[in-house]
Homo-oligomer: A and B are copies of this chain.
Amino acid sequence: MQESKINLLIIDDHQLIIDGIKGLLQDENDIDLIMEANNLTQAIEVINKNFINVALVDISMPENSGIEVTRKLKEISPETKILALTMHEDIQNITDMIEAGASGYIFKRTSMDEVLEAIRTIARNEKYLSRNVQAVLVENMRHKSEVIQNSAKEKVNLSEREREILGLIAKEFSNEEIANRLFISERTVEAHRRNIFTKTKTKTIVGLMKFAMKNNLIDFNNEF
């Protein structure tokens, strides 16, 4: 399945790291060309002159963050696959990089073998997340549910009608509109609204929306 040779570009502001990686990779016979760049400008220059399959981006770079670099490179050369190499092990960084267009993400504390495997994987147009990264993602998913469970520990039981009205509130209908829609009095809507606030222990619509979000009572994204 190994297609052709890989043209690699290493982008890092630390020349030492570039040299290190280069040394470790240059014996691999499926990696043809290894270019290097210390910043975005140099990287763009390289990419404009050579066809690069894989760019290894260290996102701890000072001036342009790795996210910026990734976005920019993807813009000018969408075929180039980007592998993020970083010491930032938080989810935000991972998701940001992937949103920016990275095909793979590995932590600096992983072995060089994995770097090589990652390069080959994303060169084949697959995705690569190192074990560590997978662990972070999994932990995050689990954590999210824990947060929800904790915050909703005192199980809020909104009635059918209350949920319905909460949904309409979230859809930006006024009490009057809700009343008309449901063929009930505005007074009744107000009563429901009050009960919803009481049950959810919230005081403002903003608070209520946050509550609804956290408890997945409404979803902001898919609607409308």
Binding site for B on A (CB under 8 A): 95, 98-101, 103, 121, 126-129, 131, 134-135, 137-138, 141-142, 144-145, 147, 169-170, 172, 203-207, 209-210, 213-214, 220-221
User: CA A101 – CA B101 in complex, angstroms?
Assistant: 29
Q: Which residues of B contact A128 (CB under 8 A)?
A: 134
> Is A98 a contact partner of B138 (Cβ separation < 8 A)?
yes
* Stoichiometry, copies per complex: 2
* B-chain residues with CB within 8 Å of residue A135 when the two chains form the complex: 126-127
B145 touches A99 (CB 8 A): yes
Residue of B nearest to A94 (CB): B141
Q: A127-B131, A138-B129 are in contact. Are A214 and B206 (CB under 8 A)?
A: no
With contact pairs A95-B141, A103-B138, A127-B134 given, residues A172 and B204 touching in the complex (Cβ less than 8 Å): yes
A141: B residues at CB distance < 8 A: 95, 98-99
Question: Which B residues lie within 8 Å of A98 (CB)?
Answer: 138, 141-142
Choice from B127, B206, B210 contacting A138 with Cβ under 8 Å: B127
> How far does the alpha carbon of A210 sit from the alpha carbon of B131 in the complex, in Å?
35
User: Are A99's CB and B204's CB within 8 A?
Assistant: no
Q: Is the Cβ of B214 less than 8 Å from the Cβ of A170?
A: no
A136 to B121, CA, bound (A): 15
Question: Does B101 contact A142, Cβ atoms closer than 8 Å?
Answer: yes
Whole-angstrom distance between the alpha carbons of A98 and B220 in the complex? 22
Chain B residues lying within 8 Å of A147, measured Cβ to Cβ, are 221
A162–B107 CA distance with the chains assembled, in angstroms: 37
Contacts of A204 in B (CB 8 A): 172
**26 intermolecular pairs with C-beta atoms under 8 Å apart:** A95-B141, A98-B141, A98-B142, A99-B141, A99-B144, A99-B145, A101-B142, A121-B131, A126-B134, A126-B135, A127-B131, A127-B134, A127-B137, A129-B137, A134-B134, A147-B221, A170-B206, A172-B206, A205-B205, A205-B206, A209-B209, A209-B210, A210-B220, A213-B220, A214-B220, A214-B221
